[in-house]
Structure formats: C-alpha cells, structure tokens
Amino acid sequence: MPVFSVIYLFSVVSVAYLTQLPSLLICQLILLLGLFTALLGFFLKRDTQTKNYPQRVLQLAVFITGFGLAAVHGRYLLAQQFSDTGQRLCQVQGVVVGLPQIGEVYSRFIIKLAKGECSGRALPPGKISLALYNSDYQPNAGDLLLAAVKLRSFRANYSVDSFDAKLWALNNGINARGYVRKIVAVQKDFSVRSGLRHKFKRWITQQDISAVAKASLFALLLGDKSAISKDQWQQMRSTGTVHLLVVSGLHIGIMVAIGWWLLFGVRAALLWAGCRYSLPFLPELGALSLSFCYLLMAGASLSTQRAWLMALVLLAGQWFSVRSNLWQRWWLALLLIISWQPLSVVEPGLWLSFAAVASLISLQGFRSVKSNYSLLIRSQCWVWLGLMPLLLLYFQQVSMIAPLINLFAIAFISLLLVLLIPALLLALLNVQQVLQLLAAALDYYWALLALLQSYTDHFLLSVQGVADHWLLILALGCLCWMLPISRWLKCIALSAWLVIFYPPREESLQQQQFTLTLMDVGQGLAVLIQTQQHNILFDTGAAFASGFSYYSAVIKPQLISSGVAKLDLLVVSHSDNDHSGGVPELQQDYLPTAIHRGMAASVADSSSACRSADNWTWDGVQFHYRQPIGSDTYTANNQSCVLELGNAQCQVIIMGDAEKEIEELLLASVINAQQRLVIVGHHGSNTSTSAGFLERESFSAALISNSYYNRYGHPHPRVLSRLSSAGVEIYRTDLLGTIVVQSSASGCSIDSYKQQHKRYWW
C-alpha cells in the first residue's frame, strides 16, 4: 500500500504545480486511460507468467488516474470562477451565509447564489464575497438578498509567502468578489439553518464576560478568528500555541473523545438496565455525530473537514472490523482527503496536521513500556520534532520551548472544551456563573501567554534564507531521532540541526551590483534595493482601517526572504497612505538607520527630507535625488522623492507620484548607464510619464506598480500607448506580481515572481 499511496500522492502534487492545465477533454481522456490501465493490470495479474509486469502496470495506472482526477477537479474549479473579460455589473439573489464581518464604514459577507446574471449571462452556482459600504442595512446570516453588484475575479498576491486569495477561493467554493451597488430587496431570516451560527455569535456577544474571552469563544466554538488582536496572534506565535485557537485536528479529536465517552456511558446504562441489544458501535456513532455537529458549528473550514475525515477513517476501521494498523488508516485518510480536495496539497495545514498525527502514531511502540506521564511528555517532543522542519519551511521560525508550554496549554484548552458544553447549556437556562468562571480562566490564560512571551522571544528560532534541500536534511534528522535506533545514530542525525544555527548562505552581491525588487502591493508602492552591504526600502505600501496592511502581508515576508536583517535607509516618497501606510509597523520591526521623507513642508524635522541633488555611493552603486530644488512648494504628489540609482551597466529611476510638471524640471542624471529603466510615476496615471520625458530619458523598460482592476483605471491607456510608441517594454505588478531587477555585466536583467512560480489557477 505505501508504494501505491506514494505514487498517487506524487501524481496529485504534480498537477498542483503545473503552470497550465490541459483542456477539459484531455483531462477526461487521461482519467479514462488511467481506469483502463488499472483494469488491464488486474487482468494481467491473473497470469502468473508475467511476474512483476502487472505490478508496474498497476503503478502506472495509479499515477495516471491520480493525475487525471486532480486535473479534472482543477478544470471544474476554474470553470466556476467569474471571468473579468465579460460584463462585471450583475444582479444577484442569494442567502447570506457564514459570519458577516461588520465594520464601522463597511461590512463584508458571503452569499450563496440562488440565481444571478450579468447582462443576460447566468452566473455559475456557488458563493460570492461582497462588501457593503455606507449602508443602513446590516447583513445577517440567513437573510435573502437581492442586489445589484459589481464583481471581479479573485487574484493572488504574486509575492513571497503572501496569501493566495485565488487558491483560498477555489478551495472554499467562492467564485467571485465585489461590492454592492444597490440593495433591491431583503427578506429577513429566510434561512434559519444558515443563520444559526450568527445568532449564536450574537448570543455570546451579549454575555457578561470580557472582550478577550468573547474573542476566544468565537474562535474555539465558531471558527471566527476576526476578533483576535494582533498582539494575541504574536503571543501565540511566540509560544507555539497558534494551533490551539485555530479549530483543527485537536479540537475535533476532543469532540470525538467526548462523544465516544458519552455514548459509551449511555450504552453501559442501557446494558445495565437490561437492554437486549449490545449496541457495539454506539460510542463510535456518538463520537462522529458530536464531532460532525462541532464541524458545522465551526464553519466547516478545510482544516476541520480534513480532521473529521481522518477521524472517520480511523473509527471506521473499528466499526467495520477491518484489520488495518494505524499507519494504513493514516495513508487511507491522506489519500481520501487529497482525492476530495486535490489543491489541499499546496496548503501548509494539510502537512502540519498529518505530520502531527504521524508523530503520535510513531509513539505506539512506547505505550507498553513507559508511564503515562512519560508518554505525555514524549508525545509533545515527538510532535515538535515532526513539525519543526515544516514550521521552518513555511514560517521560518519555531519556538524551542513550545513542547513545555503546550503541555499546559493543550491540557487547559482540552479541559475548557469539555466544560464548555455544560456551561453553555446552563447559560441558556440563565445560569451564567459557570460560563463566567470559564471566561475568567481564559483571561488568566491570555495573561499568562503575555507573560511567557517576554521569555519565549529569547527561545524563538528564526531561520532566513535556508534552501529547501537543507530543510529536507533537517527533516531526515528529526525522523531518525524518532525512530527506534541506537543513540549513537541519533546523535549523528542530531548534527543535521547545525543547519539551523549555522545556515549556509548564498554568496552576496559583488561590488557595484544591486538588486531592485518592486513588490506587488496593489495600488501602492514599495521598492527594496539591495547592494553588497546595504539595504534601502523606498515606500511601504498602504495600511487600512480594517487592520490589513501591505507591509505585514507582502513587504515583511519579502524582507525576510531577501535576508534583510537591518535597513540602512527608509525613503518615504510622500505622505499618501498608499506610499507611507506601513511606516509605523516597519519602524517597530526594523528601526531604519536613516529616514528620508518627501513633502518637506509637512515634515516636522526638515533635516529628514530627501534633498534635491543629494547623491552618495554605497558599495559602488550610485544614488541621486533628482527632484527639482524647491519642490516643497508644489502639490502633494509633486513633492515626491525622485530617486535614481545604478552603475555603468544598469540605472533605475523611481518616480514616486511625481507628475508631468516635475518630469520637465528633473535635475540632470549623474549616472551614465548602458540600460535605463523607470518605475512609472503615479501608478501609470495619465498625469505622469509624458512623451517628452520618455524621449529625453530613453528608457528601455518601464515598471508599473498598480492594483488588479483598480477603480482608477491605472495604468491609463494613453500612458501605455506612449510607452509602446517610445519602444519601452512594460512590466506591471498587476499582471506579473513582484518584479525583480538584477544588475549584470550586460545591463538590467528583469524577472517576476509569477514567471518563476506560475500556478495553473493564476
């Protein structure tokens, strides 16, 4: 079974990393070919003279079938997605589902379509994510809504370690997103079932407990993590306890145990009362039923679905008296989940959950020779060892004392979930004391995490820039430590951990070389410039009242991936939010050595302004501010810092939001380069990038930082026309994601994240 399982797993993973899927017809033919090959292998197996040939045929059949199944599934998901090429103004009718996020200015919610059309073209069935701005109507789950909306497709941020919104939408059956232009009709409480979770959330909100406890209950019971603060998230990351408030395998496992013991007690009582039926499978039925109800209450997220399916497979073997060991059930659960959700293979949650379960299964050989306390401690160490390579791979950090903290935290959360069921039932009967006691315990729990964070920060191991193959060696070392082998071999395997403390580094840039990274920060700007010994960040993207910022979502992961330990200079071109929104967060994390700002008239300390004609050289790379003298008397956009940098081979000028007026007055360049590039001003607005500017500067390529289908229509068609007429190659972040310019002996080498990491759903 393991051989066929690995082959099937490899086939599904290979589809997930394709840059483009075959057509639907070819995908279907591949699937049929796989099934035909499987039948051929079974027929050949009857002929003993063919020896190993049928085995190879069956292995080939497994690969082709898995490939075809994943490809057909991918084609089906893509067919459901909204297309931006057609009409985007639509009318939809559907039921509000999930938990709407209500803000002061806008609300965001999901509707399940009953019907919808865009200029006579019917929308496919599924869900749509909508935003509602400045409206008296407050969306409630279960309402039937008829509205005029403007839709667009989902798009990923094509950047290092950023959230893939398109992948999330595909896996959750959400086909489009947009905003409500007009509410036509609302029917309140149309679907009672869809509104249960929302009503339960409002009921918790009304309880006389602290806001911290309410946020924790939202996360534990409803899978709603929106009320958890940034400080709390950081406390959980530092202590290695994030998994405790994200409903997943642990929580489903606790509900399985509660359901099993409850129905076991019921069965014992029935037998004691003289019931004629033995009801042998009643505990398993209770375990699956209670955990399934919890799954629905928690929103049926992908992680909870996977955990419940794993529990189903593990219990079904006992239910149907199937003779299979835990490893065989582990493989079967993994294969069922990736068959049902093929794209889950690219999500960290799948591998983290299965690695944790595998680590616990590996302990089964120690159960008969170790005490319960020793087994409990060993289980935490085993899970930590099993997850360490994945945590370093996905998150570049791991808490060294997480096993000790989790001994307490897991026990607390497990006990809390057990006691919450009677506490909630009593609260419904107006007996609030038990729930209030549990809420107070949660308050103390968070206070303890905050206290531990001040100590755990010293034990938080961060690894930046380590290649994946070194992490694979580390994973093998952890595996060897868990295997029942001699201690000497375990000590040899332990040497692989030196990779963590002394990670091999790639060669740094040479003198006069630089790398410029134009990050995909939507309708904003953020540019990272690296020389041999120095790092500069030009602008920080936008931050919003909702709490989202491009700094934390895109810029910080890029800085970590690029190995930036300190910033020598932060340039804030001007004070507009789309250029300076991330400054406060960045200053907390990096404390730049120097800060230069535009809009000198509004800067309290004028000495920090980027001064016209200032120039300097770092590591053989020249830098020069080209905005005209006295630019602080111009409009806001025209007070932008305009920075050029480069060497004899490659030069780049960053225009910020400077407009045509400034382009005509730019100071002369001090860099004479073979190839000249421009980061286009004002995101491609028609107020910038004039024909005269392009003629004077003679650029070979233009980079534009703009959002996908932004409301401003950037880049403007006239700007694109002017660039094309001047023979300038165009690179856009909305189409290519993060763009990297590397200076070389022949000029400027340009590449993009999307070109390097293309996925078929992008």
Mean pLDDT of the chain: 86
Phi, psi angle pair for 536, to nearest 5°: -125, 135
Distance CA 618, CA 647 (A): 11
Query: Which of 317, 189, 300, 312 is CA-nearest to residue 247?
Result: 300
| 362-387 exposure pattern, b = at least 16 Cβ within 10 A, e = fewer | bbeeeeeeeeeeeeeeebbebbbbbb
pLDDT number for residue 455:
78
Q: Tell me which residue of 483, 419, 408 sits closest to 451, measured CA to CA.
A: 408
Indicate the angle between helix axes 249-272 and 402-428, nearest 10 degrees. Answer: 50
- 574-600 residue pLDDT tens: 989 999 999 999 998 898 999 999 865
pLDDT over 50 at 756, yes or no: yes
Mean pLDDT, to the nearest integer, of 550-579? Answer: 92
Q: Are 307 and 353 in contact (CB under 8 A)?
A: yes
What is the mean pLDDT of the segment spanning 238-264? 84
pLDDT at 69 exceeding the cut of 80: yes
Percent of the chain at pLDDT above 70? 90
pLDDT at 231 over 50: yes
Look at residue 169 in the predicted model and tell me its pLDDT.
Answer: 92
In the structure, what pLDDT confidence band is assigned to residue 453 with cuts at 50, 70 and 90? confident
pLDDT of 318 above 90: no
- Categorize the per-residue pLDDT at 475 as very low, low, confident or very high, splitting at 50, 70 and 90: confident
The confidence score (pLDDT) of residue 382 equals: 76
Question: pLDDT category, 45, cuts 50, 70, 90?
Answer: low
3-state secondary structure of 713: coil
Which has more pLDDT, 329 or 522?
522
State yes or no: pLDDT of 466 exceeds 70: no
Which homologous superfamily does the CATH classification assign to the domain defined by 515-756? Ribonuclease Z/Hydroxyacylglutathione hydrolase-like (3.60.15.10)
Rounded CA separation 287/277 (Å):
19
Please compute the mean of the pLDDT values over residues 449-457 and round it to a whole number.
82
Query: CB–CB of 100/106 below 8 Å?
Result: no
Tokens representing residue 525 in the block: 């700007």
Residues 6+ apart with CB under 8 A from 699: 676, 677, 678, 726, 728
Read off the pLDDT of each residue in 36-46 and give the average, rounded to a whole number. 73
User: Mean pLDDT over residues 678-704, rounded?
Assistant: 94
Percent of the chain with pLDDT over 90: 44
**Res. 354: pLDDT tops 70:** yes
618: β partners? 621
What ranges do the domains of the chain cover?
Answer: 2-80, 89-190, 232-464, 470-501, 515-756
Counting other chains too, the contacts that 589-596 makes at CB distance below 8 Å and 24 or more residues apart are 589/556, 590/559, 590/564, 590/566, 591/566, 591/567, 592/537, 592/567, 592/568, 593/566, 593/567, 593/568, 593/569, 594/568, 594/569, 594/570, 595/569, 595/570, 595/571, 596/569, 596/570, 596/571, 596/572, 596/641
Span 406-433, average pLDDT: 88
Residue 4 and residue 328: Cα distance in Å, rounded? 12
Nearest to 73 by CA among 374, 337, 434: 337
pLDDT computed for residue 227 by the predictor: 87
Q: How confident is the model at residue 508 (pLDDT cuts 50, 70, 90)?
A: confident
pLDDT tens digits along 14-29: 999 999 999 999 999 9
pLDDT band at 621 (very low <50, low <70, confident <90, very high): very high
* Residues 6 or more apart whose Cβ sits within 8 Å of residue 187: 143, 144
> How does residue 456 score in pLDDT terms, banded at 50, 70 and 90?
confident
* The CATH number of the domain covering residues in 89-190: 2.40.50
Q: How far apart are CA 126 and CA 81, in angstroms?
A: 9
What's the pLDDT tens digit per position in 114-163?
999 998 888 988 999 999 988 888 899 999 999 999 999 998 889 988 88
- Look at 53 and 659; give whichever has higher pLDDT: 659
Q: Chain centroid to CA 688: how far?
A: 35
User: Is residue 730 over pLDDT 80?
Assistant: yes
Per-residue pLDDT averaged across 654-671, rounded? 92
Are β-strands 121-122 and 106-118 bridged in parallel, bridged antiparallel, or unpaired? antiparallel
Higher pLDDT, residue 88 or 730: 730
Instruction: Work out whether strand 527-530 and strand 535-538 pair parallel, antiparallel, or are unpaired.
Output: antiparallel
- For residue 386, which amino acid is it? G
In whole angstroms, give the CA distance from residue 514 to residue 531. 5
Kindly tell me the sign of the dihedral angle through the C-alpha atoms of 126, 130, 136, 141: positive
- Per-residue pLDDT at 444 exceeds 50: yes
Mean pLDDT of 629-656: 87
